[in-house]
Structure 1
Amino acid sequence: MNIRKNMISLSLLALFTVSFSQPSFAATTPFTDIGQSGAKDKILSLQQQGVIKGVDDSKFAPNETITAAQGIQLMVNAFDLSLAAVTFVKAPQATDYFSKADNDAWYAESLIIAAVNGLELPNDLDPNAEWTREQFIHQLMKVMETKGNLPMIKLVPVEIKDDHDLTVDYQGSIQRALARDIIELDKENKLHPQKPVTREEAAEMIYNALAYLKSHKPLN
């Protein structure tokens, strides 16, 4: 019996049942609650590409925050990460990589995919914890740079007024995100790194990252 093939078949089935916030995969109606969003066009573009889904067929809930599991699922979808190039001795479980994961949860397969595709996620990751802006940006830059095989860039650090709130290990990723126009600071040159990231913010960053890769180097 080919364990890996069976496992991947089940994986694909699972991925069709979850999304950014576990909504219906068949949602195609443009979202009706993003009229005031500055990222409206980007959100709709991602919806049309099948990268993101709403909380139901017509609602995106742009101001809702996202969990680590939802953020990881979004990146797996957006960058087309998979297990296709990986051979396992036995079918993996999410708890092989993350001690706080639930192997029967909707996110389990996404966590496995993220782990084997090089996302720098801690072993004690809490899938249900809210992700902060800096956490999302850091992981997004890692997967974007790996997927796009992007070269190193010479940085001229941008002044961030609230850099005292930044986690030291994330500073490089934040500066690269600014340099590549994946993110921008607010009018006061603040990032608000510890603020929970919203669905709207996450979608806009994903759009910007995919647009950057498209204009600089095709996805592998």
Structure 2
Amino acid sequence: MKKKQPLFILLAVFSLLWALSQSAWAFSDVGGHPDADKINALRERGVLEGDANGKYNPGRNLTYAAGVSIIVKGLGLNVDHVRFAKAPKATDYFPNLKDDAWYADAFITAYHNGLEIPRDVKADQSMTREQFAYLLFQGMMRTGEYFFTEIYTELADEADVNPAYMNSIQKLLNAQIVSLDAKRMFYPKAAVTRGVAAGWLHDAIKFVEDMQSADTPAPSPLTDTKLETKAVNPDVNEVTVKANAPHSGYGIRIASIVFDGDRAILHTEAVLPDPDRMYAQVITEVKAATYISAAYTPVLAESLQGAIRKPAASPPSAPAGRA
């Protein structure tokens, strides 16, 4: 028994150290929250901070100060692309804020990254669910250009949604970053809690990172692509590429033609819809035509070369503060 005692002690010490290391990255009051793992993961990444007692207070309403700060810090937004004639102040853009407050730099960064924050915003003002969703989506789109499936999700409380925010909410629903409840309610005008906001932010960061690390381009939204050839005269053929699109907002274009022996290989790509418009989800035929010498046999490239996603490198984090 005496020979086994040192091993037992080592195991006990190791277990204690492991438990302490785990608790060091865990908030003490999120254990029963549905997004507890996501909240703690964001703390481990340095995105979230708790109070002096190690609490995150997930049930409290999220303020604009905290909401803007975690979006800026979590998505790595910065002002490296801006050249200032003088040092910027938060009150230059938002007169109700304080220039020496912990959140000031985050608001400056958000403003210069195009996040549409009300000019009369107050730091301790609670954010609604639709307001946070709107700014979160804007922050995501500052990190790159991404493809979203164009499926319109009906909300039971759709009439309560600010029309200016609907596109952002729809895109976040399609990306499974936000969700509706069993009654298909989004509760757009309800205050967003700190816990819910952290869960959305976690999934938004994961979406961005997954898209940016993908080795292959996003799949084309176009299907059933085919070629049709019609003689214009003995020397020239009109070649038309046709495909099915999810709705009328899409188009198709012939990006390039590669001549290989007696073949003319057509490479096509999808023309994406206007992101600020909504379209009825009706399968629509799209087409594009070109003219090729009759000496060549037109061939469609094996896959559509859809330049659908153009991710930008994630910039370093800007100062955020006590979120």
Q: CA deviation at 1:82?
A: 2.0
Q: CA deviation at 1:109?
A: 1.4
Query: What is the CA–CA distance in structure 1 between the aligned matches of 2:175 and 2:126, rounded to whole Å?
Result: 25
Query: What is the CA–CA distance in structure 2 between the aligned matches of 1:97 and 1:28, rounded to whole Å?
Result: 38
Q: Report the identity percentage.
A: 34
Match of 2:31 among 17, 32, 35: 35
Tell me, yes or no, if structure 1 residue 45 matches structure 2 residue 41: yes
Aligned residue for 2:207?
212
Match of 1:100 among 87, 96, 101: 96
2:25–2:40 CA contact under 8 A, matched in 1: no
1:28–1:47 CA contact under 8 A, matched in 2: no
Instruction: Give unpaired runs (5+ residues) of structure 1.
Output: 1-26
Tell me, yes or no, if structure 1 residue 145 matches structure 2 residue 151: no
Instruction: Give unpaired runs (5+ residues) of structure 2.
Output: 1-22, 214-311, 314-323
Query: What is the CA–CA distance in structure 1 between the aligned matches of 2:102 and 2:44, rounded to whole Å?
Result: 23
Q: CA deviation at 1:56?
A: 2.9
2:97–2:122 CA contact under 8 A, matched in 1: yes
Tell me, yes or no, if structure 1 residue 162 matches structure 2 residue 119: no
Q: CA deviation at 1:29?
A: 4.2
Query: What is the CA–CA distance in structure 2 between the aligned matches of 1:184 and 1:79, rounded to whole Å?
Result: 20
Q: CA deviation at 1:181?
A: 0.7
Tell me, yes or no, if structure 1 residue 71 matches structure 2 residue 48: no
Kindly provide the amino acid, as one letter, of the partner of residue 126 in structure 1. Answer: K
Q: TM-score, normalised by structure 1?
A: 0.82
Tell me, yes or no, if structure 1 residue 136 matches structure 2 residue 132: yes
Aligned residue for 1:22?
none
Q: CA deviation at 1:211?
A: 0.8
Aligned residue for 1:20?
none
Q: CA deviation at 1:101?
A: 1.8
Tell me, yes or no, if structure 1 residue 202 matches structure 2 residue 220: no
2:149–2:174 CA contact under 8 A, matched in 1: no
Higher Rg of the two aligned structures: 2
Aligned residue for 2:224?
none
Aligned residue for 1:13?
none
1:29–1:57 CA contact under 8 A, matched in 2: no
Q: CA deviation at 1:39?
A: 0.5
SS in structure 1 of the partner of residue 77 of structure 2: coil
Higher fraction of helix: 1
Query: What is the CA–CA distance in structure 2 between the aligned matches of 1:95 and 1:158, rounded to whole Å?
Result: 39
Match of 1:86 among 82, 85, 94: 82
Tell me, yes or no, if structure 1 residue 59 matches structure 2 residue 55: yes
1:28–1:57 CA contact under 8 A, matched in 2: no
Query: What is the CA–CA distance in structure 2 between the aligned matches of 1:63 and 1:179, rounded to whole Å?
Result: 26
In structure 2, relative to structure 1, the CA distance for the partners of 1:86 and 1:57 (3 Å cut) is: farther
Deviations 1:42-74 (A, max 9, x none): 111111111111123521111011111110011
Q: TM-score, normalised by structure 2?
A: 0.57
TM-align CA RMSD: 1.7
In structure 2, relative to structure 1, the CA distance for the partners of 1:48 and 1:174 (3 Å cut) is: same
Higher fraction of strand: 2
2:29–2:57 CA contact under 8 A, matched in 1: yes
Kindly provide the amino acid, as one letter, of the partner of residue 159 in structure 2. Answer: H
